[in-house]
Amino acid sequence: MCLSRQCYDAGSEEFDDEQGSLGEYEGDRNEAGERHGQGKAVLPNGDTYQGAYENGKRSGQGTYKFKNGARYIGEWYMGLKHGQGIFYYPDGSKYEGSWVDDQRQGHGFYTYPNGDTYDGEWLKHHRHGQGTYTYHDSGSQYMGSWIMGKMESAGEIIHLNHRYKGNFVNNNPSGPGKYVFDIGCEQHGEYLQIDQQDKGDTEEVEPALNTTLKWKPKALTGFPVWANENSAPSDQAVVEE
């Protein structure tokens, strides 16, 4: 038995009667006897589909319900989820956005079971392109580039009273970057990854912000330097380490 999200995403096309299996169908047909127009199908495994058909295939707007409670409401083309649609997963997560050939692709909004969210671009079920991941518990956000489900290249992690801007590799900050604090100062430096472990992040697992990293500060900018308590602030100071 398949219980992964990919199984739900793929639907149950193999049970349709055009594949040679039995199933119940009520609805319109074309002259060739194929499902065509509006109809409702009950598949042998207990799943149901109600919506539009074209030449025997799910095409147009329709709702596919899995017997375990998962369901997809949206557009179809040639039997595949294609266009705009919403998928409700049995673990409580939800995806609302673009689909291409049965896969999350284009722009979409994903709500994870723990309340985390991702709003951005997708490619073949993976976070890919520009997007924002929000951590529900802390309110922190990652805004930036993604490659096949992982934080990669330029990005920014935003916390309550400060943010980090820099480069990311395999979900972790790497190389030169800076911390920007709400009080107006910035700390420039470099992240070194120590004893890094690749946990093989997938779309079902939220990206972790914690790993073995070493921050090497180099300069602090933004603090005014006062000659004495009665003088005006001078130009922006730079403190090198």
Over residues 80-100, the pLDDT tens digits come to: 999 999 999 999 999 999 999
Q: What's the pLDDT band for 224 if we cut at 50, 70, 90? A: low
Which residue reads 């375990």 in tokens? 68
Average pLDDT over residues 178-206: 75
* Per-residue pLDDT reduced to its tens digit, 95-146: 999 999 999 999 999 999 999 999 999 999 999 999 999 999 999 999 999 9
Angle in degrees, CA 117, 120, 124, rounded to 5: 100
* Per-residue pLDDT reduced to its tens digit, 31-55: 999 999 999 999 999 999 999 999 9
pLDDT over 80 at 24, yes or no? yes
**Structure-model confidence comparison of residues 127 and 238, the more confident one:** 127
Interatomic CA distance for residues 241 and 188, integer angstroms: 10
pLDDT over 80 at 234, yes or no? no
Pairing of strands 35-42, 24-29: antiparallel
Which residue reads 């030169």 in tokens? 176
pLDDT at 208: 60
pTM above 0.95, yes or no: no
Worst-scoring range by mean pLDDT, 75-84, 162-171, 207-216, 226-235?
Answer: 226-235
Q: Give residues with Cβ within 8 angstroms of 157, minimum separation 6.
A: 140, 141, 142, 163, 164, 173, 209
